[in-house]
A and B are shown apart, each in its own frame.
Chain A
Amino acid sequence: MSADTAVPAAPATGAPALLPEDADQWTARVRRRAVGAFPPERLLPDRQPAYVASWIYVFGVLTLTSLVVVLLSGAVLALEGPSWWHQSSVGLFVNSTHLWSVELFFFFMVVHLWGKFFMAAWRGRRRATWVTGVVAFLVSIGTAFTGYLSQQNFDSQWIGTQAKDGINATGAGAFFNVLNFGQMLMWHILLLPLVLGLFVVVHVLLVRKRGVVPPFPAKPAVVPALATEVAPVPSAAAAADEEIGEQR
């Protein structure tokens, strides 16, 4: 489309109307696929299924919230530098905020992991959601590890000198030198957060696409007096999930 072409606006949204000759452009194709996969009402829903009203479903959001605090406090530390975070009272506070938000991040993530594991959260075409969560967890461990190496104090020196033999024994020491502060800092504040952020975004998008995993349906109940087995009662949540699965 040329810049000087007058395009009439769509009456409902005010956005430019799609001209027939533009329908095959890559921008239109990408837009159609994105809106088809993630319609706005699914991307940011107003309501959740009734079974989500349980504390165990809160820990995913708590993990995300902790991650936001980790990123914000880490950004402030990056702005000010090691002398500030070791010597000034505000720097010590932000440094501690960074540490304790990481502690809470792992705490909430592990409880979230337990909840999803015992719920078999990979059911209903949610394998990719589970796998991206597992990878995000593993990348988080690496990010935290390089964070301990980036403190610029005796603790980071001790951890680095204790870790080097183990890392070298795996062969990874050739390209991952825990005694190289600059390299560890770049892994900690650039490479690993990029990978972690990517997996977290994909994980959350998959949760939105496939929906929150429902609990298991009620187990068959045995009535002792009659010694007969009552057919399992599928929960409304499971029924809704099966319906969604069939639609996809």
Chain B
Amino acid sequence: MPILSADQAASRVFGAVVNLGKPGTYLHWGFIQLSLANFVLIVVMIAVFLAAILLPFPHRGGPRS
């Protein structure tokens, strides 16, 4: 097995997950058209937003003002 440099290995791992060697995938809902990548990003943003509201915030044991 050939020895790969770190960036070559990273490229192979990334390439196995996301193939950038072909046209992008687009989603269509009526007049709405957006790329799958942007859709995934929006979903992640909504998930982070909900997590920011719901997850408890760590704080020190001292009195809070």
Contact = CB atoms under 8 A, between A and B. Distances in A.
Interaction A to B = yes
Contact of A56 (B45, B53, B59, B65): B53
Nearest to B54: A55
B55 interface: yes
A53 B57 contact: yes
Contacts of B59: 53
Contacts of A115: 49, 52-53
Given A107-B45, A111-B45, A47 B53 contact: no
What class of interface size applies to chain B in its complex with A? 10 to 19
B51 interface: yes
A54 interface: yes
A55 B64 CA distance: 16
Interface string A20-44: 0000000000000000000000000
B65 A55 contact: no
B64 A56 contact: no
A53 B49 contact: no
A48 B57 CA distance: 14
Interface string B26-65: 0000000000000001000100110111010101000011
A60 to B, nearest CB: 12
B52 A55 contact: yes
Contacts of A114: 49
A58 B53 CA distance: 11
Contacts of B49: 56, 111, 114-115
Contacts of A47: 65
A53 B55 CA distance: 11
A65 to B, nearest CB: 16
Given A110-B45, A111-B45, A54 B65 contact: no
Nearest to B42: A110
8 A-B pairs closest in CB distance: A55-B52, A50-B64, A56-B52, A53-B57, A47-B65, A111-B49, A54-B57, A53-B59
Interface of A: 47-50, 53-56, 58-59, 107, 110-111, 114-115
10 contacts: A47-B65, A50-B65, A53-B57, A55-B53, A56-B52, A56-B53, A58-B52, A107-B41, A111-B45, A111-B49
